[in-house]
Amino acid sequence: MSDPTSLTVRQTYQQVKQNWLAFGGGLLVLAVFVIAIFAPWVAPYDPSKIDIRNILVGPNSQHLFGTDDLGRDVLSRMIWGSRVSLEVGFVAIGIATIIGILLGAISGYYGGYIDSAIMRAVDIMLSIPTIFLVLTVIAILEPSIINIMIVIGLTSWMEPARLVRAEFISLKEREFVTAARALGAADGRIIFRHILPNGLSPILVSATMGVGGAILIESALSFLGLGVQPPTPSWGSLLSSGKDNIEIAWWLSAFPGLAILVTVLGYNLLGEGIRDALDPRQRE
């Protein structure tokens, strides 16, 4: 017999492949990921090397994306900056997803006062604009990549929690859960071994699209000077340095902005494609 999990993965891949927008988004995500992994070999120059002879040089054959106000190669800094963006995106959403799964599972499985308390906490968190909450916490703490990842993760768990709760409410009365209870399975085993694996589809979609959102938040923080600190390059800090010379050096803002746009668009398209692929109504 074939592995049901492998069959589901294969079916999802085929569905995504048939959706050219989703497949294109997946290719964009894969391209950025590969570039970030192989940054030391892909980047043509040292991203921190200052060259006073090539200050604010426009795109040319030696510097495809031009240079900044210190003569550093913009393309090299963008390639290294992709590592920062993806690291923040994956770690922050990983934290948010773990918290959301735990709280959503407890809320949906036990219900009652526990469900009400957790959902009121979700409502309170959702009533506060995420970017302002993140800005407040980062302004109090020391700006660093670790703090950024933790803060974004701790302020982004509400959507996964609501999705998991809805799945648990739908699944906890199914026959396989009743059978597990009849066999004497503990609550922890029922939650993590029986219900959760059957309710991860919306979480996969939420996490995929959440990475793009986390990249946007990190870029905004770095643009405001509250994110990754120099000399570490990030797309947001590149945008921030470009605004002072935008009238004479358009490339300093155009290329990092385009990188953010393309990356976030790729994750959103991929997430939409996965959601369509996992939707039973899309299957014949």
**What is the pLDDT at residue 6?**
41
The amino acid present at 186, given as its one-letter code, is: A
Domain positions in the chain:
4-282
**What is the pLDDT at residue 138?**
79
Residue 249 near residue 58, CB atoms below 8 Å: yes
Instruction: Provide the whole-model pTM.
Output: 0.85
- The alpha carbon of residue 227 and the mean position of all alpha carbons in its chain are separated, in whole angstroms, by 16
Residue 169 near residue 198, CB atoms below 8 Å: no
Summarised one tens digit per residue, pLDDT across range 66-117 is 998 888 999 999 999 999 889 999 999 999 999 999 999 999 989 889 999 9
The CATH number given to 4-282 is 1.10.3720.10
Higher-pLDDT residue of 52, 260:
260
Nearest partner of 213 among 117, 130, 154, judged by Cα: 130
Distance CA 157, CA 169 (A): 18
Distance CA 2, CA 188 (A): 28
Given a cut of 80, is residue 236 above it in pLDDT?
yes
As a whole number, mean pLDDT of residues 263-267 equals 92
Minimum mean pLDDT range among 40-44, 159-163, 184-188: 184-188
Where does the pLDDT of residue 30 fall: very low under 50, low under 70, confident under 90, or very high at 90 and above? Answer: very high
Minimum mean pLDDT range among 14-23, 179-188, 227-236: 14-23
Given a cut of 70, is residue 144 above it in pLDDT?
yes
Where does the pLDDT of residue 225 fall: very low under 50, low under 70, confident under 90, or very high at 90 and above? Answer: confident
Given a cut of 80, is residue 16 above it in pLDDT?
no
Average pLDDT of every residue of the chain? 84
Residue 78 near residue 235, CB atoms below 8 Å: yes
Distance CA 142, CA 151 (A): 12
Given a cut of 50, is residue 26 above it in pLDDT?
yes
